[in-house]
Amino acid sequence: MKLRVLFAWGLVAALMTQLGCDAPLEEDGGGPGGPTGPVASRIVGTVVNNIGSVPIGGVSVYDLNNVGVSDITAVDGSYELNYTLEDPYATSVVAIVNDFDPDTIAVTVNPGQDAVANFRLDESLFQIPLPPSVRYPAQIAFISASTSDIFVSGVGALENSILTYEVRDSLGAAIDASRRAYATYNLNFFPDLFATGGTPPTLIPSADSTDDVGRLRVNVSSGTQAGVVQIEVTINAPGGTIRSQPVRVNVSSGFPDQAHFNLTTVNRNFPGLDKYFVRTNITVQVADKFGNPVQNPTAVAFFTRNGSITSNNSVTGADGFLTQELISGNPFPEAASAFTAFGNGYSYVVAQTLGEGGAQVIDSLLMLWTGEPIIVKTGGPATFALANGGSDGPFSFTVMDRFGHPMSAGTQINASGTGLIVDGDANITMLDTFTSGPGTTDFTVSISDADPADTDPPAVTILTVTVVHPIYGTVKLNLASGSVD
């Protein structure tokens, strides 16, 4: 047997000095032929009694350069230390347990490989009494969550997440059955502020004690509200209250709800009546009965009887939205292919999905397909002769497609003439509208002398209506011709 009392005291002091150092290993890029990014790597081995090679369980094994990387040997004496490395990493590993002299082994770990460090411990001639406070609970380490995303109850998706913690003493070793700690679990829930009603998530149990190896487990169970959950564990230890770092779990939403299913587009006046392959976006918003975006992804089907509609990635995103494109083409909504009671030019786009219990969730959007602009003069003289400061009119005209419908949004309608001031509906930019009538299909202007003080002879001029359409281009019509003095 070896006498290593001085070394053991120094090692304990070094470990306590490095307590709480839990910074991850950071290595720069790998060498030629090696891994091209961070990869899982391990130090593995066993700890046995130097006499008889009997495995020793319950031994604390640490990385001296990073005390947070540690493990406790199993009954067969095995352990593993886990890393994520890009370059070779050199360190020293220590094994320590009561009744045995600690030992240290220098190890180099290569990225993506296992390094082996096997310990043979000698029984101590002199036991090193550790202060009782060393073995008290000192930290709560989060180990794992079965999932970080759950769904509101009743949607047929995962509703629970199990969180596992480990309570460790001041040397970083898991506390044993003789030092069981009583823990309470606290849940903070941040729901959608605009969703009312429903039930929040719960924790099962609300309090518990550590098991034989210092572990705690708590189940987060969803309610009917979506949001974000934060869980914190608290222990009142002899040295004071210790808390875990908050752990976040997302609670996603439920089934599509008819009252929260909305189909729309930027402009319902769609200029695709007289041209193939004009496109416009059609968007659906899908939320559950509490106003939360539905779980991602939720499939939505789109239908139309006129032209076609895309089905690219036909599932909602994280915000519950899905956009497809309506494309003009056969059959156009006219004559026998006008499938609505409104007549030529009108067509429906439909979106559909399934709600709770397989219920149909559906919405439709009425679209007006419009065609090329047609300008028709409807009133006013054919000629005019304006004296100095004179005026004439009114002149009236219509701008509409072949079914009498207004032009689509963004169409510019302008009435002008050299030397003329044109009043009335002289400069119009169309908004999105289905309505026919004054200001949308029917327009009126009047004219006057632009320079009453001019002494030049009368000049010939023409009053012209110009329509600039974003899809169909430019169309002009001369309303009247004459002179202005």
Per-residue confidence (pLDDT) for residue 129, from 0 to 100: 57
Domain range 5-129, its CATH number among 2.60.40.1120, 1.20.120.140, 3.20.20.70, 3.40.50.300: 2.60.40.1120
Per-residue confidence (pLDDT) for residue 275, from 0 to 100: 97
Q: What is the pLDDT of residues 386-410, one digit of tens each?
A: 999 999 999 999 999 999 999 999 9
Per-residue confidence (pLDDT) for residue 126, from 0 to 100: 61
2 pLDDT band, cuts 50/70/90, is: very low
Q: Which amino acid, one-letter code, is at 250?
A: N
Q: What is the pLDDT of residues 419-443, one digit of tens each?
A: 999 999 999 999 999 999 999 999 9
Per-residue confidence (pLDDT) for residue 1, from 0 to 100: 35
Provide the CATH number for the domain formed by 135-252 in this structure: 2.60.40.10
* pLDDT-wise least confident of 26-35, 172-181, 297-306: 26-35
* pLDDT-wise least confident of 78-87, 171-180, 392-401, 448-457: 171-180
Is 16 a residue whose pLDDT tops 70?
Answer: no
The answer to whether the peptide bond before residue 394 is cis (omega within 30 degrees of 0) is: yes
pTM: 0.60
Q: Could you name the CATH architecture of 374-484? A: Sandwich (2.60)
pLDDT-above-90 percentage for the chain: 66
- In sequence order, the β-bridge partners of residue 181 are none
Please state whether 358 falls in left (phi above 0), alpha (psi between -120 and 50) or beta: left
Is 15 a residue whose pLDDT tops 50?
Answer: no
Three-point CA angle 140, 141, 142, nearest 5° = 120
Per-residue confidence (pLDDT) for residue 423, from 0 to 100: 97
130 C-beta neighbours (distance < 10 Å), count = 13
Phi and psi dihedrals of 478, rounded to 5? -85, 120
Q: Which residue has the tokens 């994280």?
A: 318
State the sign of the Cα–Cα–Cα–Cα dihedral 227, 232, 233, 236: negative
Is 281 a residue whose pLDDT tops 60?
Answer: yes
* pLDDT-wise least confident of 189-198, 222-231, 353-362: 189-198
First to last CA, the chain: 125
Per-residue confidence (pLDDT) for residue 339, from 0 to 100: 80
Q: Which amino acid, one-letter code, is at 2?
A: K
Decide whether 135-252 matches 258-369 in CATH topology.
Answer: yes
Per-residue confidence (pLDDT) for residue 27, from 0 to 100: 38
Q: Where are the domains of the chain?
A: 5-129, 135-252, 258-369, 374-484
Is 94 a residue whose pLDDT tops 70?
Answer: yes
Is 215 a residue whose pLDDT tops 50?
Answer: yes
Average pLDDT along the chain:
88
Instruction: Return d(Cα 128, Cα 16) in angstroms, integer.
Output: 15
Per-residue confidence (pLDDT) for residue 254, from 0 to 100: 79
Per-residue confidence (pLDDT) for residue 128, from 0 to 100: 54
Is 130 a residue whose pLDDT tops 60?
Answer: no
Higher pLDDT pick, 274 / 128: 274
Is 48 a residue whose pLDDT tops 50?
Answer: yes
Question: Please, which residues have CB within 8 angstroms of residue 119's CB and are 6 or more apart in sequence?
Answer: 45, 46, 47, 48, 59, 61, 95, 103, 105
Per-residue confidence (pLDDT) for residue 99, from 0 to 100: 81
For the segment 353-372, the average pLDDT, to the nearest whole number, is 94
Domain range 258-369, its CATH number among 2.40.50.180, 2.60.40.10, 3.40.47.10, 3.90.1150.10: 2.60.40.10
